[in-house]
Structure 1
Amino acid sequence: MAEQTRTVPADQWRSAVAAAKEEGYDYFDWLGAVDLIGRTDDFEVVLRLIDLDAQRAVLLRTTIPRDDPHLDSIADIFAGAGWHERESGELFAIRFTGGDPRRLLLPEDHVGAPLRKDTVLAARAGIDWPGAKEPGGAPSRRRMVPPGVPEPEIWGDRDPSGPQPASEEIAGSAVGGRVRRRRR
């Protein structure tokens, strides 16, 4: 199946989706989001549509700023997109204007957006991480920091009245695999 990618500005998202549907891409496959922290201060929203008759597909991509992540809903163009928008909205804190704002997966009292890379995975910070495997299968004796847990200076032991860390600091710090430092 031939596939092409189109990058569209966020303010033309709905019209680009409607135009693709008019071109014969009338089967909604999926919609998802990607956190681009560390590369840009944006989220990327990706949509895949298929033309079953011509056996071709198109990926529509757009970027939205992380400080005000909103995009027009396409659920009235493709009904199946509603679930995907709710999922991305809940897990990345993206608002789909005109879409269904109800919770889908997380409880109503949940705070935060768990798939944003600047969201600290507190459960991982509180549980000892076994560490990486050495070549040959023997476990490392060094305790490693799990993925998703930033350095203490970024999250935890930093001065709360100080400036917030930059997205590059968070992304660079939260990759995991670092040796856990002993607290004194």
Structure 2
Amino acid sequence: MTHNPIVPDVVALLQQMLSAVEALSQPTALEGFSDYRKVVYSNITKGNGDGWYTLEGDKAITQPPVFTGRILQISFPMLERRGQEVRKFHLTMKANGSVFTFESGYDCFFSKTILATCAATSPEVLSQPVQLKTYVKELRTGDKTLAVSLRGANNQLLSSEWQNDDDWNAIAALAIANVNTANGCTQ
């Protein structure tokens, strides 16, 4: 059997074409949301199925499930919720000159996906606007959860596989370090 040097070139070209077609099929959202509050909560039930919502008094107002902006910070503050101190996940982003904080449970699917992706993504990519798009994911248990897909400034899919039993302290530390480096902050 002879080696055909053209085959690897054709395979590489087909992969480039597939990536280009995928990028074209995923239009990039404009920066930010329209008419959005400063704190955005992430919860599939309260978000009426779309996942993200803001509060006006006790009323949850569902928001569009796509947001584009620069990631400024990842943090895990202790906050009071329903009379109890709880640890939360905060993703702080900037769009159109405004700063937005996305809040979710520190160990939910949404936060773990963002953490794993930021840990696996270079600071150079994270220094550019990132698009977040929520969707509802059905788990093997049949339960539904809020999930998120991330895309870079060039519309490339940003992702990282993860498991619940991964070392989340190490993943969070790397994600925070990558975001800090992307923003020119020293550790």
TM-score with structure 1 setting the length: 0.22
User: Is the helix fraction higher in 1 or 2?
Assistant: 2
Q: Which has the larger radius of gyration?
A: 1
User: Is the strand fraction higher in 1 or 2?
Assistant: 2
TM-score with structure 2 setting the length: 0.21
Q: Whose relative contact order is higher, 1 or 2, with alpha carbons under 8 Å and at least 6 apart?
A: 2
